[in-house]
Amino acid sequence: MKKILLTFGIALALVSANAQDTKAKAVVTPPSNNATPVSTADIKFEKLVHDYGTIKQGANGDCEFIYTNTGKEPLIISNCQGSCGCTVPSCPKEPILPGKTGVIKVHYDTKRVGMISKSVTVNSNAKSGTLTLQIKGNVEAVPVEEPFPTQQNKSGAPFEK
């Protein structure tokens, strides 16, 4: 009985090894001559980083990234995505012809106080590939003003809050 199980185990191991070897051979494919052509569109930004500097909480968090199609065919931006929900980019849907410029608008929600370091990923058919734009700065809290008490109690001291 032991010999039968041992023989069966060895046969199973050989069949399994042969099947894995066949799978590995099936994955390898010769290079084809039908490769997809590389785009000749390209993108060049005036700046890759926008620095807000120090701004107040609730201030305008809009900025623009201007770019030019420096390639030889229309540039198509397929996707723009902010690194979080507080950074919202707006990308053009129409193709940008060679030599023409376009604008990617970015809105940062300045309700959040503290340092800003966010990014926007831009996917396009440009030969330079995916690009990352950055916004940075510091949002300062707006001081809270408390009204001065106008009523006084009988002793002449202001009321306590």
Question: Taking the domains of the chain in order of start, what are their residue ranges?
Answer: 43-140
Position 25 scores a pLDDT of: 42
* CA 75 – CA 98 distance, rounded (Å): 7
CA angle 70, 100, 76 (to 5 degrees): 75
pLDDT tens sequence for the chain (161 residues)? 566 655 655 655 555 555 544 444 434 344 444 445 578 899 999 999 999 999 999 999 999 999 999 999 999 999 999 999 999 999 999 999 999 999 999 999 999 999 999 999 999 999 988 999 999 999 999 887 777 666 655 666 665 65
pTM above 0.85, yes or no: no
Return the biggest CA–CA distance within the chain.
108
| Phi, psi dihedrals of residue 14, rounded to the nearest 5° | -65, -40
Cα 36 from Cα 49, distance rounded (Å): 33
Residue-level pLDDT at 77: 94
Rounded distance, CA 122 to CA 67, Å?
A: 12
Cα–Cα distance for residue pair 144/16, rounded to 1 Å: 73
Helices (runs of H) and strands (runs of E) counted in the chain: 1, 8
DSSP 148: P
Pick the CATH number of 43-140 from 3.40.50.1000, 3.90.550.10, 2.60.40.10, 3.90.180.10: 2.60.40.10
Residue 144: predicted pLDDT: 79
Residue 91: phi and psi, rounded to 5, are -110, 150
Question: Is residue 142 within 8 Å of 110, Cβ to Cβ?
Answer: no
How many alpha carbons lie under 13 Å from residue 130 in its C-beta half-sphere?
9
